[in-house]
Amino acid sequence: MQNDLANPSFTISPSYGHNYPPVVRGWSFWNLLRWTFTPLEFLESCAKRYGDCFTMRFGSGESVCVSHPQAIAEIFTNPQLYDYGRAQVALKFTMGDFSLLTLDGEPHRRQRQLLMPPFHGERMKAYGDTICQIAEQVIHLWQPGQPLTILPAMQEITLQIMLKVVFGLNEGERYRQMRSNIRKLLSIGADPLSYMFTFFPVLLKEWGPWKPLAVYEALKRQVDDLLYAEIRERRANFDPNRTDILTLLLSARDEAGAGMTDQELRFDWTRLFILPGR
């Protein structure tokens, strides 16, 4: 079953008209529960009923889901027609306003251009070798015949990749503090109820003594402080011979010769690697 988005001439209307993708029926909060706790089953059931393109509405926003390869290619090759960054409402709380995943238009193009150099050729192979070593170290700790919860292991692999591959950290007080705080952030990010809060911006505000996700916010500030300190130190003592991703991004320049700001470096890499922890 397919709908008109498979046709390259199809465009999404900004208003709720006949050209708008079909909306998933049902109570929006119930759909949000399904999306949070059983996302694959929910998406598969929606695709069977509504086709390759449909609209999900829950919380304070809505998202258009697309699965047809030709339609996906059209969206990503025509950024002037589709505000896919603006659609990532739930991601803004975690990723912020400077992430590649939440930007549109020229800012998105510039950020993507700056991020591309670390992911080419032999450099990718070197990163892959390091990631395999990290995964093997974690797997080596598993005990044959014993029950295994896979999420903590995946979080540990994610954490080690972030610290070693992205930031090139292996030891020291900052490494230990970041490891401890980011591990706690990953645990909170893996909590489905915490994830659901991000769909209701009004619940993320301070209401007197009550503030949802206050622990998450405090940890996020501590991690940000550590990351900014690392970025400032690396700028002041830049070593072009280092091969971690942060070093490559510090040296990246756009067409105008401008590099990434501290805020751009922080949001794109810390939050991008924290997000998969859930």
Instruction: Check whether residue 122 and residue 67 sit in a common domain.
Output: no
pLDDT given for residue 277 in this prediction: 43
Instruction: Check whether residue 154 and residue 229 sit in a common domain.
Output: yes
Instruction: Check whether residue 260 and residue 201 sit in a common domain.
Output: yes
Instruction: Check whether residue 133 and residue 244 sit in a common domain.
Output: yes
For residues 179 and 163, the answer to whether their CB atoms sit within 8 Å is yes
User: Which positions ≥6 away from 138 have C-beta within 8 Å?
Assistant: 153, 156, 157, 160
Which domain CATH number covers 232?
1.10.630.10
Whether this model's pTM surpasses 0.75: no
Instruction: Check whether residue 123 and residue 54 sit in a common domain.
Output: no
Instruction: Check whether residue 212 and residue 150 sit in a common domain.
Output: yes
Q: Which amino acid is at 21?
A: P
pLDDT given for residue 219 in this prediction: 83
- Is 96 among the domain residues? no
For residues 52 and 68, the answer to whether their CB atoms sit within 8 Å is yes
Instruction: Check whether residue 52 and residue 171 sit in a common domain.
Output: no
Last-in-domain residue among 42, 64, 82 = 82
Total domains in the chain come to 2
Binning pLDDT at 50, 70 and 90, where does residue 87 land? low
Share of the chain above pLDDT 70, in %: 65
Residue that the structure tokens 């130190």 belong to: 233
pLDDT digits (tens, 9 = 90+) for 91-150: 555 555 556 566 666 666 666 776 676 666 677 788 888 899 999 999 999 988 889 888
Instruction: Check whether residue 126 and residue 227 sit in a common domain.
Output: yes
| Residue range of the domain that includes 16 | 4-82
